[in-house]
């Protein structure tokens, strides 16, 4: 490929969007943007400031605080990928917790939050040569993307993957909690009024319930190579 393109990777939670997007970006020498990390960081900010809890969301206070939320990706050469910084602090580990996962879809459903982050995402990918993953990249952020992939897998398969990840990190969580989180996020992501999770008409669907990461990578790379 001589000319750089935009690659959008959308799909449900825990479908391996980030894993595939990172691998593609590294192989192609492209910029990788994890938009989910951005929403997770805002959710963490809301938690830290008491704007969200089990039974409430102080939407207006969070909206009022948006100008004071600074999100930056900083490349970590030791890890080989960029980490999320929230107002100067590295929050890459904190934003992957089950607590943040329980709240991120609620925060992502706030139109003002989406507007702020989509604006930043546009800026990050304006020169192409980017692989961006999320929920609405191919439909809202970059509807003109040359390659659009839509990732899916059964809820049970995704919960098993996520449960193993959390166990490896030492998180005290049950499989039932993870499975419920997956189902709840699926519902909220697909039913929110602003930019719901839907497959773009020209997106290629990837059901990776029964294929390896390497098979998935090679399949995606083959599609990209013919562009």
Whose CA is closest to 199, among 15, 43, 38, 40? 15
On whether the pTM is more than 0.75, the answer is: yes
**pLDDT by residue (tens digit) across 32-83?**
999 999 999 999 999 999 999 989 999 999 999 999 999 999 988 888 788 9
Specify whether the CB–CB gap between 105 and 57 falls below 8 A: no
- Reduced DSSP (H G I as helix, E B as strand, rest coil) percent helix, strand, coil of the chain, to 5: 50, 20, 30
Whole-number percent of the chain with pLDDT over 90 = 84
Angle at 93 between CA 165 and CA 135, to 5 degrees: 70
For residue range 118-168, list pLDDT tens digits in order. Answer: 999 999 999 999 999 999 999 999 999 999 999 999 999 999 999 999 999
């Amino acid at each position: 490929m001589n000319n750089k393109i935009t690659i959008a990777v959308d799909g449900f939670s825990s479908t391996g969007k980030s894993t595939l997007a990172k691998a593609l970006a590294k192989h192609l020498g492209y910029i990788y943007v994890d938009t989910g990390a951005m929403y997770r960081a805002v959710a963490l900010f809301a938690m830290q400031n008491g704007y969200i809890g089990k039974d409430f969301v102080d939407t207006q206070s969070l909206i009022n605080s948006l100008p004071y939320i600074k999100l930056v990706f900083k490349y970590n050469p030791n890890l080989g990928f960029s980490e999320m910084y929230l107002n100067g602090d590295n929050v890459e580990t904190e934003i992957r917790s089950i607590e943040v996962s329980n709240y991120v879809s609620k925060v992502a459903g706030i139109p003002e939050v989406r507007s702020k982050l989509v604006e930043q995402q546009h800026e990050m990918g304006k020169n192409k040569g980017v692989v961006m993953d999320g929920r609405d990249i191919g439909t809202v952020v970059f509807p003109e993307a040359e390659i659009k992939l839509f990732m899916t897998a059964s809820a049970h398969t995704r919960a098993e993957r996520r449960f193993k990840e959390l166990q490896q990190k030492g998180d005290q969580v049950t499989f039932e909690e993870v499975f419920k989180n997956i189902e709840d996020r699926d519902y909220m992501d697909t039913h929110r009024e602003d930019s719901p999770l839907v497959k773009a008409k020209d997106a290629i669907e990837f059901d990776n319930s029964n294929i390896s990461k390497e098979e998935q990578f090679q399949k995606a790379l083959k599609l990209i190579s013919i562009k």
